[in-house]
Amino acid sequence: MKLTLKIWRQATTDATGAMHTYQLDGVSEDMSFLEMLDVLNEQLNASDEEPIAFDSDCREGICGMCGLMINGQAHGPEVTTTCQLHMRSFKDGDEITIEPWRADAFPVLKDLCVDRSALDRMIQSGGYISANTGSAPDAHAAPVEKKKADRAFDVATCIGCGACVAACPNGSASLFLGAKITHLGELPQGQPERWDRVIGMVSQHDHDGFGGCTNIGECASACPKEIPLDVISQLNKDLRTAMVKGR
């Protein structure tokens, strides 16, 4: 198939960016979206135009490195990561707009690459259980109710791609935060630090300039791992409890 691609190009963080239009012919529907961009880059390289920078690593939907705004939707029209989106979701003659994640907490580094280290900083501010190596009791010391273990797992599948932030009209990272708060809060091992964790992570979230949540729900529909909005409620509940406890 033949496509018209409108792609955001920006040389550096401080440079002014703009949309550029490219024509690409011979796209097969078996290609993944990123393979389609690989083909475009080969073509650009051959015609002495610098290839488009975009992030990807595992290309099997688990590492969270890829993430493009495709036709105004984070990761495109399907519920999956950009790398798992295939060209059979498009048709001959389509015009596709491709932009980077846009949030001031995620500055553009070049073209479609953004800096998501703000997500790491939130984890640094409490998104862990303090268990030094070697200090652990036997794994069977604390049984975990299956229901809780399953819920913890379901929300622990967050891949940290940032699609929730990209899709949120407020630029909030509440879904990301809520997923980690819920994961660790469901487990007995996560209880001792539960209230400090939520205060620490939320403060860092606000400090890094993410927006506040108004429960619109675009985040959950953009999430390739289908993390539900429940986790934001859980986040709020934990935050409220933590404030009552005076942390």
Q: Measure the CA–CA gap between 137 and 6, rounded to whole angstroms.
A: 55
DSSP 86: B
Site string for other proteins, 160-199 (x = CB under 8 A): x------x-xxxx----------xx--x-xx---------
Size of the site for other proteins (CB under 8 A): 119
218 is a contact residue toward other proteins (CB under 8 A): yes
Query: Of residues 62, 196, 199, 247, which one binds other proteins by CB under 8 A?
Result: 62
Site for other proteins in 75-104 (CB under 8 A): 80, 84, 86, 88, 97, 99, 102-104
Q: Measure the CA–CA gap between 47 and 40, rounded to whole angstroms.
A: 11
Q: Please list, in sequence order, all residues whose beta carbon lies within 8 angstroms of the beta carbon of residue 64, skipping any fewer than 6 positions away.
A: 81, 159, 160, 161, 162
Q: What is the CA angle 148-150-154, rounded to 5?
A: 115
232 is a contact residue toward other proteins (CB under 8 A): yes
9 is a contact residue toward other proteins (CB under 8 A): no
Site string for other proteins, 135-164 (x = CB under 8 A): xxxxxx-xxxxx--xx-xx--xx-xx----
Task: Answer yes or no: are the C-beta atoms of 171 and 165 closer than 8 Å.
Answer: yes
Query: Of residues 1, 22, 94, 113, which one binds other proteins by CB under 8 A?
Result: 113
| DSSP helix/strand/coil, 95 | strand
Query: Of residues 3, 213, 227, 242, which one binds other proteins by CB under 8 A?
Result: 213
CB of 195 to other proteins, least distance (A): 14
> Exposure string (b/e) for 95-111, b if CB count within 10 Å is 16 or more?
ebbbbbbebebbebebb
Query: Of residues 1, 24, 199, 216, which one binds other proteins by CB under 8 A?
Result: 216
CB of 5 to other proteins, least distance (A): 13
Query: Of residues 58, 91, 226, 243, which one binds other proteins by CB under 8 A?
Result: 58
CB-CB neighbours of 21 under 10 Å? 10
